[in-house]
Amino acid sequence: MTTTDLAAEDRFQNTDALLGATRLAFFTPIRNYPSLADSKAKSILAADGLMISVFLIYHDRLVMLLHNDYLGVVFLILTLLASFSCLLLIGGFCAYIALTMPIPPMPESLAFFPEIARLSLDEYRSKITVLTHRQVVHKILIYNYSLATLCARKFALLRRAMACVRAQFFLWLVITLVAAFAGKVDPKSPDKDNSPPRVDRKARVTHSRLSLDAPTVVAKGPATDE
Amino acid sequence: MKLSLPSELSDPVLPHLPAMPHRLDAAATLAFLTPLQEHPPAADAKAGALLTVVGLMFTLLTGTSKYLIAVVARGDFQTVILGVALAGFGILSLLTVIEAFRTISPRFPAAPPSLAFFADIARLQRDDYIQKVEAMTPDEALEQMLRYNHTLSGICVQKFGRLRKALHYCRPAFGCWLVAMILTSLRMVF
């Protein structure tokens, strides 16, 4: 056996024990999860925004309900709205924190971008080229661990946010339905007040044909030939 | 039949990766697999979310404008609080939007060219690019990757710095918006 073969054998024995670890360290399927959590958080915030926007459409009717003479209805609507607002704030806050949560601090690792950016290109080069396989695996494992911790924290918050959104959606549905039906039932509804008066189709046609300024009353009855 | 590699070449630690000289193998493994690609899109997505949140807050304020005007017309302490909240919200949300846009499109730092970066590749003719890469020694190839990693890390730091500023402005902007919305809602209810 030559010296080169011995060296190769020695190197093989050193890295052989690390083969599985290296593969697992570099290919741990972990890097898509923070962005997945971010997407979920954004969806929750978007859902919150949409629910509030729908309330905005119905806000006249909600105000009308709150000025109702029946105290029971006022109390019910206020309770529903207050519960919805609390859930919205808690869920939204959890989603926001999950979205903006930074990666937890980690020991020095050349796998993490602030660490690389902190060095000059020459320092980075000189540091990375003297690393052994074991050190490389160690550095990537440090990064993986921090990322895993980040994912766990993000998803824990998202679970809470999701629970809030579920309950919130139920309340939103009830409030929206009540507001929608209240507008139809109440005779003082702004929709009914503002709705245009019904015009007889025949009368409208005649009006447009004759004059735009002077509406004419058309007598209903059988048409006669002149 | 087993193919023998030249003695200075390493058997790659990760078998699907091309072999590198033994002295560079560990560095090359880390350099070529440094997890950097996912960070710029993450920063952009967060900045986009902030822009959406600010947009929603403005929409909601606009939607309740008639009650806002009613509170302003009162001329009492509520008007003062609302004025401060609205001014704060306007300024802080503007700063948030500016920082969010600067997160999405930062001013890129001057960086040495690297054949791992698409713009530097596209600057060359196809034949020049192929010729350059094919003529590269392992050390030069690693150097190109290190330059790319270093530049991208700098960009990531810049992006996340801007994003941190945007968040820094967004939080008090949300507070101001909440105050304005609470005053408006009170006006709506009572």
Per-residue pLDDT tens digits for A104-146: 888 988 999 999 999 999 999 999 999 888 888 888 888 999 9
| Percent of chain B scoring above 90 in pLDDT | 35
Contact by Cβ (8 Å): A42, A160: no
Q: Please list the residues that pair with B9 across neighbouring strands.
A: B21
* Number of cross-chain residue pairs from A and B with Cβ atoms under 8 Å apart: 125
pLDDT at residue number B24: 81
Tokens 């926007």 correspond to A53
Q: CB–CB of A53 and B59 under 8 A?
A: yes
- Select the residue of B35, B45, B156 nearest A117 (Cβ to Cβ): B156
Ranges B3-7, B60-64, B157-161, B174-178: which has the least confidence? B3-7
Domain boundaries, chain B: 40-189
User: Helix or strand or coil: residue B9?
Assistant: strand
Rounded to an integer, the average pLDDT of B27-35 is 88
CB within 8 Å: A34 and B60? no
**Banded model confidence at residue A185, pLDDT cuts 50, 70, 90:** low
- Distance from C-alpha of B144 to C-alpha of B111, rounded to nearest angstrom: 12
Query: To the nearest whole percent, how much of chain A has pLDDT over 90?
Result: 31
Closest CA to B150 of A140, A120, A106, A144: A120
Neighbours of B75 (CB within 10 A): 9
Q: Tell me whether residues B49 and A129 touch, CB distance under 8 A.
A: no
Tokens of B20: 């590198």
* Separation of alpha carbons B168 and A33, rounded Å: 25
Q: What is the pLDDT of residues B99-148, one digit of tens each?
A: 999 998 877 778 889 988 888 888 888 888 888 888 888 888 889 999 99
Whether residue A199 has pLDDT greater than 80: no
Within 8 A by CB and 6+ apart from A118, the residues are: none
Determine phi and psi for B22, rounding to 5 degrees: -55, -45
Long-range contacts of B130-133 (CB under 8 A, 24+ apart): none
Distance of CA B158 to the CA centre of its chain: 8
Contact A140 B33 (CB under 8 A): yes
Average pLDDT for B182-189:
83
When scoring B51, B53, B155 by the number of chain A Cβ atoms within 10 A, the one with the most, hence best to mutate, is: B53
Confidence check: pLDDT of A198 > 80? no
Q: Which residue in the set B13, B41, B152 is minimally distant from A133, CB to CB?
A: B13
Report, as an integer, the average pLDDT of B143-172: 93
What average pLDDT does the segment B177-187 reach? 89
Residue A161 identity (one-letter amino acid): A
Q: Which residue matches tokens 């005649």?
A: A206
**Picking from A24-28, A105-109, A189-193, which range would have the lowest pLDDT averaged per residue?**
A189-193
Residue A34 has pLDDT above 70, yes or no: yes
Report chain A residues whose CB lies below 8 A from the CB of B149.
Answer: 116, 124
User: Which of A58, A94, A96, A100 lies closest to A167, judged by CA?
Assistant: A94
Q: Yes or no: say if A182 and A189 are a contact pair by the CB < 8 Å rule.
A: yes
Across the interface, which of B26, B45, B64 has its CB nearest the CB of A136?
B26
Q: Minimum mean pLDDT among A158-162, B62-66, B123-127: which range?
A: B62-66
The tokens describing A143, both together, are 């990064």
Burial of B109 (0-12, 13-18, 19+ CB in 10 A): exposed
Chain B residue closest in CA terms to A111: B34
> Which tokens sit at B74?
């009162």
Residues A38-95: pLDDT tens digits? 998 998 998 898 888 888 888 788 888 888 788 888 888 889 999 999 999 999 999 9
Q: Cβ–Cβ of A52/B56 closer than 8 Å?
A: yes
B29 and A136 in contact by Cβ < 8 A?
Answer: yes
- The label of the residue with tokens 């304005």 reads B180
Rounded Cα distance between A50 and A48, Å, is 5
Q: Which residues of A touch B46 (CB under 8 A)?
A: 38, 99-100
B144: nearest CA partner in chain A: A125
> What are the pLDDT digits (tens) for B49-63?
998 889 888 888 888
Q: Rounded to a whole number, what is the largest CA-CA distance in chain B?
A: 92
Give phi and psi for B9, each to the nearest 5.
Answer: -85, 145
Measured between CA atoms, the residue of chain B closest to residue A100 is B46
Domain ranges of chain A: 18-187
CA distance A42 to chain B (A): 6
Q: Which residues of B touch A18 (CB under 8 A)?
A: 13
Q: Is B14 close to A135, i.e. CB distance below 8 A?
A: no
Smallest Cβ distance to B30: which of A52, A125, A136? A136
Residues of chain A contacting residue B23, judged by C-beta atoms under 8 Å apart: 129
Nearest in space to B48 (alpha carbons), one of B163, B135, B158: B163
Q: Which residue has the higher pLDDT, B146 or A7?
A: B146
- Interface with A, mutate which of B29, B44, B117, B171 (most A CBs under 10 A): B29
| B-chain residues near A15 (CB < 8 A) | 13
* pLDDT attached to residue A220: 42
Q: Which two tokens stand for residue B179?
A: 């105050």
Scored b (16 or more CB within 10 A) or e, A48-78 reads bbebbeebeebbbbbbbbeeeeeeeeeebbe
Complex prediction ipTM: 0.71
Q: What is the distance in angstroms between the Cα of A66 and the nearest Cα belonging to chain B?
A: 6
Q: Maximum Cα–Cα distance for chain A, whole Å?
A: 126
Q: Does A53 contact B150 at a Cβ distance shorter than 8 Å?
A: no
- pLDDT at position A218 over 60: no
- Ramachandran area for residue B131 (φ above 0: left; ψ -120 to 50: alpha; else beta): alpha
Residue among A35, A78, A100 minimizing CB distance to B38:
A35
